[in-house]
Amino acid sequence: MKIFKKILDIFNIKYFYLKIVELSTKILKRTIIKKISKDIFIFGGDNFIGNTKYLYLYLSRHSNYRLIWISRNNETVVNLKKKGFEVYNKFSIKSLLLSLKAKYIFVTHGFNEILPIELSIETKLIYLAHGNPFKKPVFDAKNFRTIFSTKYDYDLMIKLLVRMDYHISCSDNFNEILKKAYKIKISKIFTTGYPRNDLLFCKENQFIINLKKKINISNDIKQIFLYAPTFRENKRAHFPLSEELLNDLNNYLEENHSILILKPHSLEEVIDYKNLKNIRIAPQNQDIQELLLISDALITDYSSVFLDYILTKNPIIFFAYDLDFYRNTRGDLYFDYESFVPGPIAKTGAELIELIKTISNWSLNYKEKIEEILYFSHKYVDGNSCQRVCNLLQLKINSK
Residues 330 and 233 in one domain: yes
How far is residue 51 from each of residues 48, 58, 108, measured CA to CA in Å?
A: 10, 11, 7
Encode burial over 45-56: b for 16+ CB neighbours within 10 A, e otherwise: bbbbbbbbbbbb
> Which helix or strand (DSSP H or E) is residue 349 part of?
helix 349-357
Note whether residue 124 is domain-resident. Answer: yes
Domain match, 277 and 387 both: no
Is residue 214 situated within a structural domain? yes
Verify that 25 and 148 share a domain, yes or no.
yes
Contact 101, 34 (CB under 8 A): no
- pLDDT by position in tens, the chain (length 400): 455 445 545 556 776 677 777 777 777 777 777 788 999 999 999 999 999 999 999 999 999 999 999 999 999 999 999 999 999 999 898 999 999 999 999 999 888 898 888 888 899 999 999 889 888 777 676 666 566 666 777 787 888 888 999 999 999 999 999 999 889 999 999 999 999 999 999 989 999 999 999 889 998 999 999 999 887 655 555 567 888 898 999 999 999 999 999 987 654 445 556 678 899 988 878 899 999 999 999 999 999 999 999 999 999 999 999 888 877 776 678 899 999 999 999 999 999 999 999 999 999 999 999 999 999 999 999 999 999 999 999 999 986 5
The Cα angle at residue 378 between residues 376 and 383, in degrees rounded to 5:
155
What pTM was estimated for this model as a whole? 0.90
> Containing H/E element for 312?
none
> What 3-state class would DSSP assign to 68?
strand
Asked whether residue 133 falls in the same domain as residue 277, the answer is no
Residues whose CB is less than 8 angstroms from the CB of residue 361 and which lie 6 or more positions away in sequence, other chains included: none
The predicted structure's pLDDT at residue 295: 97
Is residue 198, in this structure, part of any structural domain at all?
Answer: no
244 and 125, same structural domain?
no
Is residue 397 a part of any domain in this protein?
A: no
Identify the CATH number of the domain in which residue 266 sits: 3.40.50.12580
Question: Do both 333 and 359 map to the same domain?
Answer: yes
State the pLDDT at residue 236: 54
Going by C-alpha positions, the residue among 315, 293, 297 that lies closest to residue 369 is: 315
Please give the Cα distance from 290 to 28 (Å, whole number). 41
Residues 156 and 245 in one domain: no
Are residues 215 and 176 part of one domain? no
pLDDT, tens digit, 9 for 90 and up, residues 136-181: 777 676 666 566 666 777 787 888 888 999 999 999 999 999 999 8
Domain that holds residue 118: 2-193+383-392
| Within-domain flag for 398 | no
Question: Please, how many CA atoms are within 13 Å of residue 107, restricted to the half-sphere of its CB?
Answer: 25
230 and 341 share a domain?
Answer: yes
How many domains does one find in the chain?
A: 2
CATH number at residue 67: 3.40.50.11820
Do 183 and 225 fall within a single domain?
no
Confidence at residue 160, expressed as pLDDT on a 0 to 100 scale = 85
275 and 366 housed in the same domain = yes
> DSSP string of 133-184?
SSBPPGGG-TTHHHHT-SHHHHHHHHHHHHH--EEEES-GGGHHHHHHHHT-
In a domain, 400, yes or no: no
Residue 83: predicted pLDDT:
96
12 part of a folded domain: yes
Query: Would you say 282 and 262 are in contact if contact means Cβ atoms under 8 Å apart?
Result: yes
**pLDDT (0 to 100) of residue 179:** 94
